[in-house]
Chain A
Amino acid sequence: MLPIIFVLPLLQLVILSNAATFEVKNIKFGYIDNDHSSTSRALIEKFNASTYFDVLTDFTSEANASSAMLNGEIDVVLEIPRHFARNLQKEKYVNLGVTINAIDGAAAGVENVYITQIIQSYNKNIRTDLVQISDAQIQPVYIDTIPLFWYNETLNYKTFMVPGILVLLVTMITLFLSGMNIVREKEIGTLEQINVTPIKKSQFIIGKLFPFWVIGMALLSIGLIIAKIIFDVPMVGSLLLMYVYTSIYILVILGIGLFISNFTDTQQQAMFIAWFFVVIFILMSGLFTPIESMPKWAQIITEFNPIKYYVEVMRMVMLKGSGFMDILPQLIKTLVYAIVMNGLAVWSYKKTT
């Protein structure tokens, strides 16, 4: 069992950190060029040059493009109108048609950003060209934004994901182990033997917590080593702080697990309930979707999500180098949570029925 507990999650860490990316690459790009001018070809060439787009096909009509999108052959269609070059010269203004397959909404959003960026950059060059042709004395004026991404300058998604995935793994392993534990003893009958001894309820719960706590901390340690060695994730902040926070955090999860275990009669029930919480905790943790974009009621629920705080703290400490005072709010909430959950775990353990 022990090798399984350690090997599987660490494999997951390596696989998921490489696979769970928000980047969209190899976008299948199609275009309808109704203009066939050097200007329109220059725009298409821009897309061709981008590493994100595979320029696929030149469609002759909108109907062809639509059926290709229906068949999943292309993700994006750019339609360049007739007299594109001429209107650009004369009116300095043209409309381009962009159609994006939005079955995967998240990918479509990212694709839209890429397309907009490419067209903007093209726009800038065109404007410079036009200005030079018409009136060389007037300086082209345009506002340019240069985004600076702090704490993760290159927007390396691994830097962003590894701490998050490590958090999930530590959480899942400790929750499932503790959630299955007492109920398993109910099933095999050893719990009854324990119940006829004079052991105190709190002693029993502490005895249950301790080994899983050690496993959780060991998992964190190995995970951090992997994060450093394999993924070269920056660790700006204090390791000690990470450990202090994690040591309290794991108690929250174990408290929840033991509480579930006390309330159920079979391991199957415990498994279902543990899954219920794990899925909600993970998808509402802000790891995959920003909490700011959730509806208000969902944001309130996330206040009770321990993973949310852990993801925040790990990212803050690892990437930003936040100190004790910065994570104090999360630390206090987690501590209260730990006391409440373990109180409930002790309370729900009944030696007498």
Chain B
Amino acid sequence: MKKLMTGNEAIAYGAYLYGVRVGAAYPGTPSTEIMDNFSRYPGVYAEWAPNEKVAMDVGIGAAYAGTRALVSMKHVGVNVAADSLFYVVYTGLKGGLVLISADDPGMHSSQNEQDNRNYAKFAKLPMLEPADSEEAKQFVGMALEMSEAFDTPVMVRTVTRISHSSTPVEMSEEGPPPAPEEPPLYERNAGKFVMVPANARRRHPVIEERIKKLAEYAETLPINRIEPGDDTVGIVAAGATYEYAREVFPQATFLKLGMVYPLPEKLIREFASRVKTVVVIEELDPFFEEQIRLMGIEVRGKDIFPMIGEFSPTLIRQCATAAGLIKGEAAQAEAAATSSAAIDLPIRPPILCPGCGHRGLFYVLREAGVLVLGDIGCYTLGVAPPLSAMHTTGCMGASIGVAHGVDKAKVKDRVVAVLGDSTFFHAGIHPLIDVLYNESTVTTIITDNSVTAMTGHQQHPGTGITLQQKKTKAVDLEKFVQSIGFEKVDVCDPYDLEGLAKVLEEHLESGQPSVIIARRSCVLYTREKRTPPTVDPETCVNCGACLELGCSPLMQAEDYVTIDPILCNGCGLCVQVCPSEAITQE
């Protein structure tokens, strides 16, 4: 039986099917649904770790103990986990360990589009890359076997269009292997698992030898295959890009790589000998291209296709046509000549939802004119006009350290760091300690909506509930920051603009490091909705004050503002900012 599954669902299914018993992750688009789905299978343990590095260590621990483990994260999460990834490559493991890196070419929901294939080469471990959900399922199984056979962690890389695309998956008649009856026996082996320099020096040659063996293994692996066709153009591709290229070059000879590192040199040479021109089609970095060129094989790639952005069949056809690889009866010519006189369609960027607590915070921050060092989450949308109240965003947890640095540069501006509750637990704790230890006057605002909202409402250490829906101890934010030494700590409701503004002013003028917790649950998560306010068109003077909230239900009518009751969540901020009392709420 076949079932439609996203790549992420298929990875979770594969992990379950091939005996993974421990999973750990931190949510991040496009990877989130992997652990979400895995956690629902019977007999497995799965958790949201506070961040990716912790998740990686949890997976490593389980693998050291001889249990198959899955760790998943978005591409930039691997940066956070990298320190652990690099040591486990040296130590090896006992049970299979698979790290999923879900990359985001095109940056649909990310701060960069780094190509994590480079991590395989950098950290010296094998990497597989599926091209659809069926492969995603199978590759997890292969990765686990490879991990145990070669004593190495294995990475499986997806991209957004694999993680979030649905394709049919063959459902297995059999379930996973039975759970071991006895608890696993932990084998103590300090020489292998304690990376003091003396041991690490002995391990490094093992790693170099291992990657050579893996390259030999790659020659025989059926997921690296030549698909015979026309001999004029031979295309090397992997993953989603392979699928796009197949649409554009239905007749060409293909080298479809399922294992993207290390590469099978003999197979590539054989492939090259069969075709007149070798063309590598790969998103982002010239990862295959450079390695193949180093083999002394003439190859085209980035001279035809861009290094930037997400590929699509459309883009590949355009580039290939321009390069003369295919004739120009491109889709464009076929495309409908609509009678369109060019009309400028206004763009629609993502915005804070109606009823979002972050809106009140950013409104107050904008009014206060402070410098806002921001972070990663829904609240990053505070940068968008008309709120325009965020001035930096780099990566998870950067806000507080950057604010501290700006403060140390002695700028005139009043400085606040803004980050969410989940982001605080992820990477905000250490920089907050720095603010205390090295004494700056930064006010840190934790905009607490009590859930990891942006990625679709995952639990975190502050919610009191685990990924597998067990009740647990909730870390109390106020007590936590007080216990590390903050003396000025306040909790505010960002729906109360005046109250929040007053507290902010006190904190900024206090001359001491401080924390404000702006707490209001995510309304998409709680599904709470209050009665939408109404506007009296007679009283409304059309001053636009309410529109400065950037709230989508507020719409400009002829000479007054209206509120769409379907979109409105009834937060009442517009009632508070209206200077003519034209907006009322029951």
A and B bound? no
